[in-house]
Amino acid sequence: MVPVIPDKNLRLALIDEVYGARRGDADTLYGRPDAPSLDDIPDFDSDPRHHPHVEAYALGLPLTEDDLRAIEDLTLDGDREIYGAAFPDWWDQGDHFVVRSLDGIEACAHLRRLSLGQGIVVGASLAPLTRLPALTYVALCHTGRYPDVERLLELPALEHAWISNVPASAARWHAVLAELRARGVSLR
């Protein structure tokens, strides 16, 4: 069965993770012979515009259950190869690759470490993380505006958490951090 990943940007990041690990020839995206040649884009290295055909190509790549189960460490941040290939100047242009839903990430059943980069995952519910039985480490930033930070308390295997930029006025966050600490979760 093909996993359903409703957020196209999460799907894009997962595809980049899977296919980036298989990278070969540097002249095509992920070294695949059927990929668009990055050399065919005039002045690719200095062309900051959006290249939708490159993004569409990546989104069209198959993503299987086995692919997702093989991911043990995932960092959702702005350093993905596909971001620079599809829209080199995206960071300066707004939030083109922002992940707003983590639904479907539970297909990464062997995921042990997850980092939700500042500015990349915004407003997403943390509920899908509770269905990751192997997740022992999570890193996230208060600025991600997660509506249900309390869901961190439901992560069954959590041992370490790196939570950044929590202001003194964020009482909900401090209550969650105190409870995690009381459970023996190492906080940073």
What tens digit of pLDDT does each residue of 110-144 get? Answer: 999 999 988 899 999 999 999 999 999 999 999 89
% of the chain exceeding 90 in pLDDT: 61
pLDDT confidence of residue 183: 96
Query: Does the structure show a pLDDT above 70 at 163?
Result: yes
What tens digit of pLDDT does each residue of 33-53 get? Answer: 777 666 665 555 566 778 888
Decide if 115 is inside a domain. yes
Averaged pLDDT score across all residues of the chain: 88
Alpha-carbon span 16 to 108, nearest angstrom: 14
Alpha-carbon span 17 to 59, nearest angstrom: 12
User: Is residue 170 classed as helix, strand or coil in its secondary structure?
Assistant: coil
- What is this structure's pTM? 0.89
Decide if 45 is inside a domain. yes
Decide if 168 is inside a domain. yes
Query: Does the structure show a pLDDT above 70 at 93?
Result: no
Decide if 99 is inside a domain. yes
Decide if 2 is inside a domain. no
Closest CA relative to residue 122, chosen from 149, 105, 101: 101
Decide if 3 is inside a domain. no
Decide if 86 is inside a domain. yes
Q: Which residue range forms the structural domain that includes residue 105?
A: 8-187
Closest CA relative to residue 116, chosen from 186, 164, 183, 70: 164
pLDDT confidence of residue 38: 63
pLDDT confidence of residue 186: 97
Closest CA relative to residue 108, chosen from 128, 79, 138, 78: 128
Decide if 123 is inside a domain. yes
> What domain count does the chain have?
1
